[in-house]
Structure 1
């Protein structure tokens, strides 16, 4: 049987509070996928970083990993750094299938949800003077 994991991959920051919305996203995602382990990994400045998390998941018997880059745009990290990391992880863990989906901000449904939020902000108006 395939043991699956979903990794939400974010940049990372010096301030621990920066990770709070990503942790909430992880919790919401985990609640919707009880049979899949959902984890956060970071490119830099925070832990766990992607290679360490993949090693941990592999040691726990995970055989299929999907990585979701939780980035709004496809800058250098998504276009250059992540593919190199994934190539190395596939070499280091050949027994594990590792898939990467598009960056969250490149997905039409995500963009539409953000646009809905932006438009709804227009209805939040200050009381007239």
Structure 2
């Protein structure tokens, strides 16, 4: 039997307020799926970094982790940096299957939600 986990991955920034929307996403996911371990990780400037967040999920017994980039598009960080970080996690935790998902901004329902929000803001 597999134990799922979710690793949300964001860029990070020097301004701590920048992380608030990402923390809100993580909190909403945790509230909706209290049975599933969820970690929010950052590429730079903020903690925890992805290797630490991945280690936490492995320590919680997760055997299948969906990695969701909280990026609007799949630029260099998602296409190059993230796969390298996941390869390191896979080497360190071979009992865990790390599954890279599309950048959240490329998911149809998210694109639709952004369009609807933009229209509401323009009204």
Cα drift, residue 30 of structure 1: 1.1
Query: What does residue 23 of structure 1 align with?
Result: 23
Task: Kindly name which structure, 1 or 2, has the bigger radius of gyration based on alpha carbons.
Answer: 1
Query: What does residue 60 of structure 1 align with?
Result: 60
Q: Is the 8 A contact 2:7 2:41 kept in 1?
A: yes
Instruction: Name the TM-score, length of structure 1 as normaliser.
Output: 0.90
Q: Provide the C-alpha distance between the structure 1 equivalents of 2:20 and 2:58, rounded to a whole number of angstroms.
A: 26
Which 4+ stretches in 1 moved above 2 angstroms?
Answer: none
Instruction: Name the TM-score, length of structure 2 as normaliser.
Output: 0.94
User: Mind listing any 5+ residue stretches in structure 2 that lack a counterpart?
Assistant: none
Q: Is the 8 A contact 2:39 2:57 kept in 1?
A: no
User: Would you say 1:36 and 2:36 are equivalent positions?
Assistant: yes
- Map residues 1-129 of structure 1 onto 2, 5 A cutoff: 1-123=1-123
Q: C-alpha deviations, 1:89-120, integer Å up to 9, x for none? A: 11111100111110011111100100010111
What count of residue pairs does the alignment treat as equivalent? 123
